[in-house]
């Protein structure tokens, strides 16, 4: 039986039909499938948008999003996407990356890496730092990192490359010494990535579920902790598109709780959450 979610503790009325409409919109804009257990999360994330807009009815909010309102859509998306990330998250991928790029540079001068779903930038900057520290000659080679995310707010943060200093706790000290600058005066308590690191990364807003204006073939793709909320069908489409943008022998890194089994047979597993295009 469908439950009515109007209760004293809810500031706004939020019934089953509101939740269904919200999750349809979330799915169409992000590919994220919100299960029934995400009802409270949806309510709390979107209540903030109602408050910010000074409205008190979910129907009005749904109308705004359905109308394709240009200023609200990015905020609608940001409100639900989970942006958690960190420098050198799942560190084994960076060890693999360094060895692979060293190997590739023996036979090619141009290397393209894609951080798809880069959030606030820690992932692509970690890629750049790992390469600058671990691959001799990388600065003179044509090595570029494309970093994309759906969420334009988080991309602004990524582009700035400025983080609270707590974000670098646990990062290798040699890496910090070489590639992280500590802020002073007004910027005390913040750190900034070195211009050489920033210089290797280009940020672009991109919804992975829409068409990609991308012509490159990527030697290595990082798409980690992005597809966990996508349904199987969406994952299948996405990974087959990645496969179309990679040559045989290129690699794809996915998140620790993700798996290509039953999703895409264009890759074979060659390491912990590391796949190779076949």
Which residue numbers are catalytic? 45, 149
Bridge pairing between strands 110-116 and 220-223: parallel
Residue with tokens 């646990």: 170
Show the binding pattern over residues 155-194: x = contacts ligand SAM (CB under 6 A), - = does not.
Answer: ----------------------------------------
Bridge partner list, 275: 252, 269
205 binds ligand SAM (CB under 6 A): no
∠247-83-199 over CA atoms, to 5°? 55
Show the binding pattern over residues 221-240: x = contacts ligand SAM (CB under 6 A), - = does not.
Answer: ---xxx--------------
C-alpha 34/C-alpha 16 separation (Å) is 13
The answer to whether 100 is a known ligand-binding residue is no
C-alpha 121/C-alpha 52 separation (Å) is 27
Residue with tokens 């036979």: 107
Bridge partner list, 184: none
The answer to whether 63 is a known ligand-binding residue is no
Rounded to whole angstroms, the maximal C-alpha distance in the chain is 67
Q: How far is the CB of 171 from ligand SAM (least distance, A)?
A: 14
Residues 6+ away with beta carbon under 8 Å from 127: 94, 97, 113, 115, 145, 201, 222
112 binds ligand SAM (CB under 6 A): no
Q: Measured from the CB atom, is 105 or 175 closer to ligand SAM?
A: 175
The residue within the footprint of ligand SAM, chosen from 22, 154, 220, 260 (CB under 6 A), is 154
Residue list, annotated binding site for S-adenosyl-L-methionine = 83, 85, 89, 123, 149, 207-208, 224-225
Binding site for ligand SAM (CB under 6 A): 30-32, 81-85, 89, 117-119, 123, 149-151, 154, 207-209, 224-226, 255
């Amino acid at each position: 039986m469908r439950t009515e979610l109007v209760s004293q503790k809810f500031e706004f009325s939020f019934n089953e039909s509101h939740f269904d409409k919200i999750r349809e919109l979330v799915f169409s804009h992000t590919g994220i499938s919100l299960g029934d257990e995400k009802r409270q999360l949806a309510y709390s994330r979107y209540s903030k948008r109602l408050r910010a807009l000074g409205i008190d009815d979910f129907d009005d909010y749904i109308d705004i999003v359905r109308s394709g309102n240009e200023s609200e859509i990015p905020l609608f998306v940001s409100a639900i996407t989970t942006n958690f990330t960190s420098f050198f998250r799942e560190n084994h991928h960076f060890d693999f990356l360094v060895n692979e790029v060293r190997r590739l540079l023996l036979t090619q001068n141009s290397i393209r890496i894609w951080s798809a779903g880069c959030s606030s930038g820690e992932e692509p900057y970690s890629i750049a730092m790992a390469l600058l520290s671990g691959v001799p000659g990388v600065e003179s080679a044509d090595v570029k990192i494309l970093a994309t995310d759906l969420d334009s707010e988080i991309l602004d943060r990524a582009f700035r490359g400025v983080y609270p200093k707590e974000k670098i706790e646990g990062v290798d000290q040699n890496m910090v010494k070489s590639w992280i600058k500590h802020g002073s005066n007004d910027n005390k308590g913040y750190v900034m990535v070195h211009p050489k690191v920033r210089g290797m990364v280009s940020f672009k807003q991109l919804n992975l579920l829409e068409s990609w204006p991308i012509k490159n073939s990527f030697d290595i793709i990082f798409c980690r902790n992005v597809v966990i909320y996508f349904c199987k069908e969406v994952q299948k489409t996405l990974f087959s598109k990645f496969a179309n943008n990679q040559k045989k022998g290129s690699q794809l890194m996915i998140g620790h709780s993700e798996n290509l089994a039953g999703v895409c047979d264009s890759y074979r597993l060659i390491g912990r959450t590391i796949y190779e295009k076949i």
